[in-house]
A and B are shown apart, each in its own frame.
Chain A
Amino acid sequence: MKYYSKAIPKSERITRLVEHLYAKMPEIEASRAVLITESYQQTENEPMIIRRAKAFEHILDNIPIIIRDEELIVGSTTIAPRGCQTYPEFSWEWLEAEFETVETRAADPFYISDETKKKLHEANQYWKGKTTSELATAYMAPETLTAMEHNVFTPGNYFYNGVGHITVKYEQVLAIGFEGIIRIAEEHLANCKVGDGDYAKRSRFLQAVIISCKAVIRYAERYARLAAEMADRCGDPARKAELLKISANCARVPAKGAENFHEACQSFWFVQQLLQLESSGHSISPGRFDQYMYPYFKKDLDKGAITREFAQELMDCIWVKLNDLNKCRDAASAEGFAGYSLFQNLIVGGQDENGMDVTNDLSFMCITCSMHVFLPQPSLSIRVWNGSPQDLLIHAAELTRTGIGLPAYYNDEVVIPALMSRGLTLEDARTYNIIGCVEPQKAGKTEGWHDAAFFNMCRPLEFVFTNGYDKGELASIQTGDVESFQTFDEFYDAYKKQMEYQISLLVNADNAIDQAHMERCPLPFESCMVDDCMARGMALQEGGAIYNFTGPQGFGIANVADSLYAIKKLVFDEHKATLGDFKRALALNYGKGFDEITIAEMTAQIVKELKQAGRDVSDEDIATIAKTIMDTKLSDADQAMCDNLYDMIDALPKFGNDIEDVDALARDAAYTYTRPVEKYKNPRGGIFQAGVYPVSANVPLGGQTGATPDGRLAHRPVADGVSPSSGKDVHGPTAAANSVAKLDHGIASNGTLFNQKFHPSALSGEEGLNNFVSLIRSYFDQKGMHMQFNVVSRETLLDAQQHPENYKHLVVRVAGYSALFTTLSRSLQDDIIARTEQGF
Chain B
Amino acid sequence: MENAINTRAMQDPNIYGREYLQTKGRIFDIQRYSIHDGKGIRTIVFLKGCVLRCKWCCNPESQEYQIQTMMVQGKPKVIGRDVTVEEVMETVVKDEPYYRRSGGGLTLSGGESLCQAEFARDLLHAAKARGMNTAMESMAGLPYEKIEMLLPYLDNYLMDIKHIDPEKHKQFTGRSNELMLENARKVAQSGMTKLDIRVPVIPTFNDKPEEIRAIAQFADKLPGVTKIHLLPYHRLGQDKYDGLGRKYEMDGILPPDNAYMEMLKQVVQQNSSLYCQIGG
Contacts and interface: CB of A to CB of B under 8 A. Distances in A.
Given A732-B33, A735-B32, A762-B35, A774 B41 contact: yes
Chain B CB count within 10 A is highest, among A731, A770, A777, A778, for: A778
A767 B104 CA distance: 12
Contacts of A775: 33, 41, 98, 101-102
A801 interface: no
Contacts of B94: 658, 734-735, 738
Given A734-B95, A738-B94, A840 B101 contact: no
A840 B41 contact: no
Given A731-B32, A840-B35, A771 B102 contact: yes
5 contacts: A771-B35, A774-B102, A775-B98, A778-B95, A778-B102
Interface in A796-840: 838, 840
Contacts of B31: 732, 840
B102 A733 contact: no
Nearest to A761: B36
B98 A774 contact: yes
Nearest to B277: A765
Interface string B34-47: 11100011000000
Given A732-B32, A733-B33, A840-B35, A771 B97 contact: no
A770 B34 contact: no
Contacts of A777: 101
A838 B33 contact: yes
Interface in B93-131: 94-95, 97-98, 100-102, 104
Contacts of B32: 731-732, 734-735
B33 A781 contact: no
A782 B101 CA distance: 12
Interface centre among B97, B102, B104 (most CB of A within 10 A): B97
Interface string B74-94: 000000000000000000001
A683 interface: no
Interface of B: 31-36, 40-41, 94-95, 97-98, 100-102, 104
B265 to A, nearest CB: 14
Closest 3 CB pairs of A and B: A774-B102, A732-B33, A774-B101
A734 B34 CA distance: 10
Nearest to A838: B33
Contacts of A840: 31, 33-36
A768 interface: yes
Contacts of B36: 840
Nearest to A782: B97
Contacts of A735: 32-33, 94
Given A734-B41, A775-B41, A777-B101, 8 more contacts: A731-B32, A732-B31, A734-B95, A738-B95, A770-B102, A771-B41, A775-B101, A840-B35
A734 B98 contact: yes
Interface string A730-748: 0111110010000000000
Given A771-B35, A771-B40, A774-B40, A781 B102 contact: no
Contacts of B34: 840
Nearest to B98: A778
Interface SS of chain A: helix, strand, loop or mixed?
helix
Given A734-B94, A738-B94, A771-B40, A778 B100 contact: yes
Contacts of A731: 32
Contacts of A732: 31-33
Contacts of A738: 94-95
Contacts of A771: 35, 40-41, 102, 104
B262 to A, nearest CB: 15
A245 B234 CA distance: 59
Contacts of B100: 778, 781
Nearest to B95: A734
Contacts of A782: 97
A771 B95 CA distance: 13
Contacts of B104: 771, 774
B189 to A, nearest CB: 28
Contacts of A781: 97, 100-101
Interface string A757-791: 00000100001101100110110011000000000
B105 to A, nearest CB: 12
A445 B97 CA distance: 36
Nearest to B97: A778
Contacts of B40: 770-771, 774
A735 B41 CA distance: 12
Contacts of A734: 32-33, 41, 94-95, 98
A728 to B, nearest CB: 16
A840 B32 CA distance: 9
A778 B35 contact: no
Contacts of A733: 33
Contacts of A838: 33
Contacts of B102: 770-771, 774-775, 778
Q: Indicate the member of B31, B33, B40, B102 with the most A CB atoms within 10 Å.
A: B33
Nearest to A658: B94
A735 B34 CA distance: 12
B31 to A, nearest CB: 7
A310 to B, nearest CB: 38
A733 B40 CA distance: 14
B74 to A, nearest CB: 15
A261 B35 CA distance: 43
Contacts of B101: 774-775, 777-778, 781
Most buried by B among A733, A734, A840: A734
B89 to A, nearest CB: 14
Interface in A450-464: none
A838 to B, nearest CB: 7
Contacts of B95: 734, 738, 778
B166 to A, nearest CB: 35
- Centre residue among B31, B35, B94, B102 by max chain A CB count within 10 A: B35
Contacts of A774: 40-41, 98, 101-102, 104
B159 to A, nearest CB: 20
A767 B40 CA distance: 8
